Amino acid sequence: MRSRTPPTPTTPSDLRLRLHPRSLFPLSLITALLLTTALLLTGCGITPTGYVQAGAPAQGARQPGTDTYTARIFFLSPLGVRAAARPTDGPVGPQEALDMLVKGPTAAEQARGLVSEVPPTSGRLTAVPATGAVSVFLPTPVSRMEAVAVHQIACTAAHADIPGGRPATQVDVRMYEPKSQGTPWTVRCSSNGIALPTAGPDTWQNPAPRASPRPAPDTS
């Protein structure tokens, strides 16, 4: 019988090499997200520690029984995508949360092994909140982004202070590519920090997302 070689620990660099979608949106996004989910949940030793679970306070919301607000910004760690908790002075909306994400992990977060796959862009990553949802306007086509970056963006936006009081796992994140024709692709952030399409398996094979009005991004 052949002996098995013990698996080597997974590092953020390993995940970057394994999670590299380079095709069209949104079908490639769905494939990449599902592949990433399988890799992160089965191949990387994910545990619930450090993740935002369903029903947890929204990002920037006051913690029960305290005067403390906590923002949750999602980065890639050796264990997969996880949230970094940051104290804030008040509620944090999705635009402020994404601005924090784009700046990357702090020195202390980097020391814990957190990195970001959100690429540098020439334009602003813009968020427009609505009741139970947030529209995210991407300055870079998804074909030029890692699947992990989509998880980071979607989950950071979903855990912001969103009107309506939905749990973060039930917030619809509507992703718009540059020069899109007004039809977003909608995902939700799972309790493990993974962005998953809201459509069922049949639609994954032949995507036809329902059109919704394109809100005007905040240019301020």
Tell me, what's the pLDDT at 106?
A: 96
Report the Cα 129 to chain-centroid distance in Å. 15
Q: What is the pLDDT averaged over residues 53-82?
A: 71
In the block, residue with structure tokens 């799972």: 190
Helix (H, G, I), strand (E, B) or coil at 120: coil
pTM, rounded to two decimals: 0.69
| 185-189: strand order across its sheet | 126-130, 133-137, 172-176, 185-189, 195-197
Q: What is the pLDDT of residues 137-147, one digit of tens each?
A: 999 888 888 99
Helix (H, G, I), strand (E, B) or coil at 135: strand
Whether residue 26 has a cis bond before it, omega within 30° of 0: yes
Tell me, what's the pLDDT at 182?
A: 74
Segments making up each domain of the chain, as ranges: 69-201
Q: Is the pLDDT of residue 36 over 80?
A: no
Residue 118: which of 148, 95, 97, 89 has the closest Cα? 148
Tell me, what's the pLDDT at 61?
A: 52
Bridge-based pairing of strands 185-189 and 195-197 is antiparallel
Q: How confident is the model at residue 85 (pLDDT cuts 50, 70, 90)?
A: very high
Q: What is the pLDDT averaged over residues 55-62?
A: 49
**Do 33 and 194 contact (CB within 8 A), yes or no?**
yes
Q: Is the pLDDT of residue 80 over 70?
A: yes
Q: What is the pLDDT averaged over residues 185-207?
A: 72
Residues composing the chain = 220
